[in-house]
Every structure is written in C-alpha cells, then in structure tokens.
C-alpha cells in the first residue's frame, strides 16, 4: 500500500510567528506619539511672562501654558482657604495666535483628610469662582480656557474625598478636568485609585525624597523612573506628560534641611568646596536670592541635564502606551533655568516623542 505523502509547513508557520513577535516587540519598545502638543508649566506668583519668555514660547511653537493660579491649604481654625495667589496683573497676550491657558491649582492633602462633604461642595464652588474671576480679569479674548488642572498628592486615606471634589468641580465648572499624576499612583493604581477626571498629566520628576537618598538625584533618577514605569496594564486614563527642566540646591544647616535655593553653579563656585558627588560645603558667608548661607552649611546640588532628559524620554517611549495625540509639558518656564539648555535641546524634548 502506497503511503500518502505528508506535507509540513514548519517554515511558513515559524516565519509568521517570527514576524508577529517582531511586530509585538517593536510596538512595545517604541510607543511614539504621532502629534505632540507643546506646553510649559508657569509656576511664578510674583510676575507674568517676561518678553524673553514670551519669545522663547514663540520660537518653540508653544501655545499652551499650565499656570498656577493659587494654592489651597487647610487649618483646623480656618478650614480650607486659598493662598499663594498670583499677584501679577495684565491682560496677556499680545500674540495674534490663539493660545491656551490651563489654570492649575495646588491642593494640600490635608484639605481632603479633614474636610466634610458639604465643605468640599463649597470648596469646588469657590475654586471654580476664583479661577473664573482671575481668568476674566487677566487674560485677553484670544486666550482659550477649556480645562482646569488640579494638583494634589492624594493618599489612600484622602482619595475618597479628593475624587468627590473632582466630580463636583467637573459638574460646577462644565470644563475638562485634569489632574497631576505622580509615579507612585501611576504604578499602584489598584491601591491609590484612578481619579474621575478627563485626563491626567504624568509628572516624571521629584521621584525621591531629597533626605532619604543622599547619593541620588531626587529630581530625576533614571533607575527609579524605570522602576515605576514597568507596569502590566495600560493606565485607564489619557496620559499627558511633564518633564523637569530645572535645578536646585538643597540647603542644610547643622545637618538639617532648611530650604531650597534656586541659582546656578557659577554664582556658587566662589563660595563652596565640593566634598563628593552632589555635595558642597559653604566656605564664605553669603546672601544669595534672600537665602543666607553660612560657613559650614552644606548644599546638595541637583540638576537635570539634556542627556538625562533624553534618556528619560527613551524610557517613557519604551514602557508607556500613549494616545496618538498627547501634551508634553516642561516644568517650568523660567529664563534662568532654561539657559542651561540650548534651543535645539529644548525643541528635542518635544520632538523626540514622535521619532
């Protein structure tokens, strides 16, 4: 009896598997954004944009600003109250182009730990009223305001009240509501909850406590960043992104942290000696930016270089699944801080996401 010839298809089948695997790996390793909306955070309360800062926005094609309008604090005696309100004035803008402002409000976690639901109802109404008042008084008619952003480092104990407030603000304002999203609640969404907002901005900086990791850069440490980005599931909200473009000096007196100093190393070099990576000792009594430095004080100098930011962008593209259109913001718009980067470097912090 003649045996039937058997046909095997190992090669084509294996080839298909290989192509599928390569497509999967390629997709996972480069989640690029097709259309990047460029933005800055503007965090100064004492003045509005200088002419050079306006010119920089124009040169980088930035038409969107997240502006801190005020903060909300809480005390037992006063309850919730606004503070650190902007005191700049002037109906900006002189530009002929349509521009977008996103009023941003920083709310301390204590607000949601201790407020009652009726107090949160009143807070939502007050936040909406104050934002609207500031905007109508201080911005020209070619400025759009379609979104409010709330900035709060909520905790498992405060999330119920915070999420309640966000829903109330959405209903009262009839605006898009976004919130900031730190890396911890991004990674541990089951524990921290997903805020009831239209979208969130993933804040890719201030990853470590400055006091807990003396030998690491607390602003942006790549190893720490990647550890938070490795998650199994896609975050269930549209994600925008914020990257740091600033440096600071942590001031320690008698081995205790006292405050942050914002200046450049050129101003510090004549009055400090370097002891080890990040750390300097003050050798001359000096007053810098209203901060009095004494002999023996220690400074931890932390900066974000262009190289580190670009490596962070590669990690984000590798691990985070983006929507096709995403806002990328740089924190924050400050002439002195941004002088540490070339114009080409600043532009690349936006364009690298679409490569």
Cα separation, 176 vs 215, whole angstroms: 41
CA 94/CA 92 separation, integer angstroms: 6
As given in the structure block, the two tokens for residue 207 are 């990853």
Angle at alpha carbon of residue 304, lines to 298 and 310, rounded to 5°: 160
Angle, vertex CA 202, rays to CA 198 and CA 204, nearest 5 = 170
| Verdict on whether the full-model pTM lies above 0.95 | no
- Cis upstream peptide for 105 (omega within 30°): no
User: 4 pLDDT exceeds 70?
Assistant: no
SS3 (DSSP) at 195: coil
Report how far residue 238's alpha carbon sits from residue 53's, in angstroms, rounded to the nearest whole number: 29
Question: Comparing C-alpha atoms, which of 181, 217, 216 is closest to residue 197?
Answer: 181
Domains of the chain, start order: 31-245+303-354 (3.20.20.80), 248-302 (no CATH)
Q: Cβ(201)–Cβ(210) under 8 Å?
A: no
Residue with tokens 């104990």: 157
pLDDT tens, residue by residue, 304-332: 999 999 999 999 999 999 999 999 999 99
**pLDDT reported for residue 225:** 97
Taking residues 39-52, report their average pLDDT. Answer: 89
Spell 134-170 as b/e; 16+ CB within 10 A means b: bbeebbeeebeeebbbbbbbbeeebbebbbbbbebbb
Q: What is the pLDDT of residues 20-35, one digit of tens each?
A: 444 444 444 456 799 9
Following CA atoms 112, 115, 117, 123 in sequence, which dihedral angle do they give, to the nearest 10 degrees?
Answer: -80
The pLDDT, as a whole number, for residue 136 is 93
Burial class (CB in 10 A: 0-12, 13-18, 19+), 39: buried
**Could you give the 3-state DSSP secondary structure of residue 221?**
coil
The predicted model gives 237-244 an average pLDDT of 98
**pLDDT tens-digit profile of 51-83?**
899 999 999 999 999 999 999 999 999 999 999
CB neighbour list of residue 121: distance below 8 Å, 6 or more residues apart: 168
- Nearest of 175, 329, 354 to residue 239 by alpha carbon: 329
């Amino acid at each position: 009896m003649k045996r039937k010839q058997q046909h095997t298809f190992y090669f084509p089948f294996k080839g298909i598997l290989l192509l599928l695997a390569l497509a999967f790996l390629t997709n996972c390793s480069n989640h690029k954004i097709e259309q990047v909306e460029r933005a800055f955070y503007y965090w100064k309360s004492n003045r509005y944009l200088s002419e050079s800062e306006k010119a920089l926005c124009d040169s980088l094609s930035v038409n969107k600003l997240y502006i801190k309008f005020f903060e909300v604090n809480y005390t037992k005696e006063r309850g919730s109250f606004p503070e650190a309100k902007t005191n700049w004035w002037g109906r900006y803008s002189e530009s002929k182009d349509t521009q977008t402002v996103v009023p941003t409000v920083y709310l301390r976690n204590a607000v949601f730990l201790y407020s009652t639901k009726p107090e949160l109802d009143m807070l939502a109404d007050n936040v909406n009223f104050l934002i609207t008042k500031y905007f109508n008084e201080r911005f020209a008619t070619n400025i759009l305001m379609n979104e409010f952003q709330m900035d709060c480092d909520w905790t498992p104990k405060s999330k119920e009240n915070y999420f309640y407030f966000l829903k109330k603000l959405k209903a009262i304002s009839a605006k898009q509501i976004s919130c900031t999203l730190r890396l911890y609640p991004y990674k541990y969404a089951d524990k921290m909850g997903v805020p009831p907002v239209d979208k969130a901005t993933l804040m890719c900086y201030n990853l470590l406590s400055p006091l807990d990791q003396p030998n690491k850069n607390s602003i942006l440490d790549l190893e720490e960043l990647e550890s938070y980005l490795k998650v199994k599931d896609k975050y269930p909200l549209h994600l925008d992104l914020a990257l740091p473009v600033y440096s600071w000096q942590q001031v320690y007196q008698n081995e205790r942290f006292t405050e942050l100093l914002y200046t450049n190393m050129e101003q510090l070099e004549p009055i400090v000696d370097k002891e080890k990576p990040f750390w300097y000792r003050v050798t001359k009594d000096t007053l810098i930016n209203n901060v009095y430095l004494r002999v023996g004080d220690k400074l931890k100098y932390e900066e974000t270089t262009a190289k580190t930011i670009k490596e962070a962008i590669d990690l984000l593209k590798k691990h985070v699944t983006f929507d096709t259109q995403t806002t990328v913001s740089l924190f924050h718009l400050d002439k002195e801080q941004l002088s540490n980067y070339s114009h080409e470097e600043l532009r690349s912090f936006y364009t690298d996401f679409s490569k």
